[in-house]
Structure 1
Amino acid sequence: MTEKIIAAADGSALGNPGPAGWAWYIDETRWAAGGWAHGTNNMGELKAVLDLFEATAHLPETHLHIICDSKYTIDSISRWLPGWKKKGWKKADGKQVQNLDLMQALDAAIEGRSYSFEWVKGHTGHPLNEAADRRANEAAQAYRDGVEPLTGPGWGKGESSQEFPDDSAADTPDPETLAPTEQVADDAVEEARSCELQTLNPSIYGSEKLLGSLLHPELAWVVPTGQVTDRDTVLHYRLRACASSGPVEEVLATELGTEATLLVTRVPTDKGLLIRSSTWVLTGGSWKLRYRQDTRA
């Protein structure tokens, strides 16, 4: 038998960048959260994992299984980090690794640790992922509102671990056995995906300011009737434009270059299922929705 901790880690940024939060969650007696007045979703995702490793550093022999909905975070730690380190913390395109301080702290925190990651799609009802997401979002909202966030009990008073058979724990990926090529544009896809999810979050689209921070000044949004609407119209009718009636399914996510990403999703609404195509572009250091078309399925 080998000891194993199962935890979820998540991050949230309102506006991305904007007020940001992070959280990890094991159970009601063991969880932690925090954040910043200004940060990105990726910062929150990485910090949640880092704090989890640091909170369990007193259990170096225990396997840490982390549930995460960020492929960027999982790939950064499990695949790309060793190569970045060898190249002086440079990516394949020669640019400096983003969030370098967090990456270097993670490099130190995972040394000698036994760990594995499990990717889950966000906002699909996974209990641990939902618990971490809710706490990260609440921390981000606290920073937005200028109040102290709930930071949680940390490791708390729970049992040190759970026991599982040896074969239930996945091995930490060996970087030498993985494909050597790094997908440079994965940063762009992940950031756009995070922003897309924010446009579906009532706490975001309920605020004209927060939703507006995600919309390009020259936004063109084609509604199911074929009419082309602009940014001001979308903000005026934002509750109608952004509300969904159930989980959203991603159909396609692909880069259109390092500063543009196309996302295609299926969005259930009160008036039926929509096929939604969204083009996100990097403008002034932030990802903005430049074009969207909704078509009835």
Structure 2
Amino acid sequence: MTIVAAADGSALGNPGPAGWAWYVDDDCWRAGGWPHGTNNMGELMAVLDLFNSTAHLPDEPLHILCDSQYVINSVTKWMPGWKRKGWKKSDGKPVLNLELLKEIDAALVGRKYTFEWVKGHAGHALNEAADDRARDAATAHQAKKAPNAGPGFPGALQAGSSQTGSAESPATTSSIVTQSESGRSSAAARPHSVVPAQTTLFPNDLEQPDLFSMLEDEADPAFSAPNQDALEIVAALERELLDPGVRADPLRVGELLHPDFEEIGASGRRWTRQEVLEMLNEEESATVELQVLSISQVDTSTALLSYRSVSPAGSALRSSLWQREDGQWRLRFHQGTPEN
């Protein structure tokens, strides 16, 4: 039998006041945050605290509902490779959110767990409950107030990194990942909310770049010389906009589109930001492959990306103009033309 919980994070500004939360039911949840953090930090902290809060139940597998593909991939796909490379990414740079990831890595020992990806802001009851509490924690920190930490998990000893996270420091279609490790703790087991464990593998077409960590890594307000890391961020953000799960999330799409965004379609029609958001709300997206043709720095805060998109409907040549303001990249203009 499996403990089922949703884990979520929130950041107002990303980075900005940040919160995290996990939720089983109204009598079993926990939340915390920091005055300044990122969405990824919140997502990771929620998962870490959930493992720590259930450490006294080593025989009860965890089934974690998570709308962050970054977190799922970090824990189930990328972390083993990062460890082999001395916690370095494929480009040799240090992994971001390192301390949280190391603590999660330690918390996994002896535990059985599965991750299930759920679409955020899509009416999933547990996900919405965790999201509400994470956002409330971030809002509390924005107002310089202590967040409601929640009742916690029955029988848990709230200490260590879990306690630190709550203090002043830094209808759904799902895809499922299964991970397990051998070994057991000597603590007494005590069941809570349970469902049968699931074992479907997480599909490759949902793999996501280390997106928000990349944004953290690129902290300069603008690049004064061509910066390959910044250009890679732009390409990663464009890929995120093509992801069906992201396109179905109007809040995330709204974060990525510039307030003055516009698009010129293949028919010559001009689309406004609001029209695009409304169209995506009704769209049934398919997986799209992005093949970068060129990417270049236009000025100190602008990048131009040209690429070929390939989907079941065919291929198209596309250009996107990205602008950076207040430390965040947003899509300012896009145009696409079907390819013969």
TM-score computed with the length of structure 1 as normaliser: 0.67
Matched, 1:197 2:225: no
- Among 89, 92, 95, the residue aligned to 1:91: 89
C-alpha distance in 2 between matches for 1:24 and 1:260:
39
C-alpha distance in 1 between matches for 2:151 and 2:116:
24
Matched, 1:139 2:137: yes
Which secondary structure state, in structure 2, belongs to the residue aligned with residue 49 of structure 1?
Answer: helix
Amino acid at match of 1:46: L
Which secondary structure state, in structure 2, belongs to the residue aligned with residue 54 of structure 1?
Answer: helix
C-alpha distance in 2 between matches for 1:54 and 1:191:
31
CA contact (8 A) 1:280 1:288 kept: no
Aligned to 2:262: 221
Q: Which moved more, 1:186-195 or 1:52-61?
A: 186-195
C-alpha distance in 2 between matches for 1:222 and 1:172:
38
Aligned to 1:161: 192
Which secondary structure state, in structure 1, belongs to the residue aligned with residue 24 of structure 2?
Answer: strand
Aligned to 1:72: 70
For residues 92-143 of structure 1, the C-alpha deviation after alignment (integer angstroms, 9 at most, x for no partner) is 1211111111111110011110000010111111100111011111111111
Flag the 1:57–1:279 CA change in 2: closer, same or farther, 3 A.
farther
TM-score computed with the length of structure 2 as normaliser: 0.59
For residues 31-88 of structure 1, the C-alpha deviation after alignment (integer angstroms, 9 at most, x for no partner) is 0111111111111111110110010011111100000011110011011111101110
Which secondary structure state, in structure 2, belongs to the residue aligned with residue 24 of structure 1?
Answer: strand
Aligned to 2:315: none
C-alpha distance in 1 between matches for 2:25 and 2:281:
24
Task: Kindly report the root-mean-square deviation, in angstroms, between the aligned alpha carbons of the 2 structures.
Answer: 4.3
- Among 277, 281, 289, the residue aligned to 2:330: 289
Flag the 1:171–1:61 CA change in 2: closer, same or farther, 3 A.
farther
Which secondary structure state, in structure 1, belongs to the residue aligned with residue 20 of structure 2?
Answer: strand
CA contact (8 A) 1:93 1:184 kept: no
Aligned to 1:62: 60
C-alpha distance in 2 between matches for 1:119 and 1:280:
31
Flag the 1:284–1:98 CA change in 2: closer, same or farther, 3 A.
farther
Aligned to 1:170: 198
Which secondary structure state, in structure 1, belongs to the residue aligned with residue 33 of structure 2?
Answer: strand
How big is the shift at 1:146?
1.8
C-alpha distance in 2 between matches for 1:66 and 1:250:
26
- Among 28, 51, 54, the residue aligned to 1:53: 51
CA contact (8 A) 2:66 2:127 kept: yes
CA contact (8 A) 2:319 2:334 kept: yes
C-alpha distance in 2 between matches for 1:136 and 1:152:
11
Flag the 1:35–1:191 CA change in 2: closer, same or farther, 3 A.
farther
CA contact (8 A) 2:73 2:208 kept: no
How big is the shift at 1:161?
2.0
Matches within 5 A, 1:36-51: 36-51=34-49
Flag the 1:94–1:169 CA change in 2: closer, same or farther, 3 A.
same
- Listed as ranges, the gaps of 5+ residues in structure 2 are 157-189, 213-235, 296-302, 310-317, 336-340
- Listed as ranges, the gaps of 5+ residues in structure 1 are 201-210, 235-239, 265-276
Which secondary structure state, in structure 1, belongs to the residue aligned with residue 146 of structure 2?
Answer: coil
C-alpha distance in 2 between matches for 1:54 and 1:139:
19
Aligned to 2:217: none
Alignment: residue pair count: 249
Amino acid at match of 1:62: E
C-alpha distance in 1 between matches for 2:87 and 2:61:
27
Amino acid at match of 1:95: K
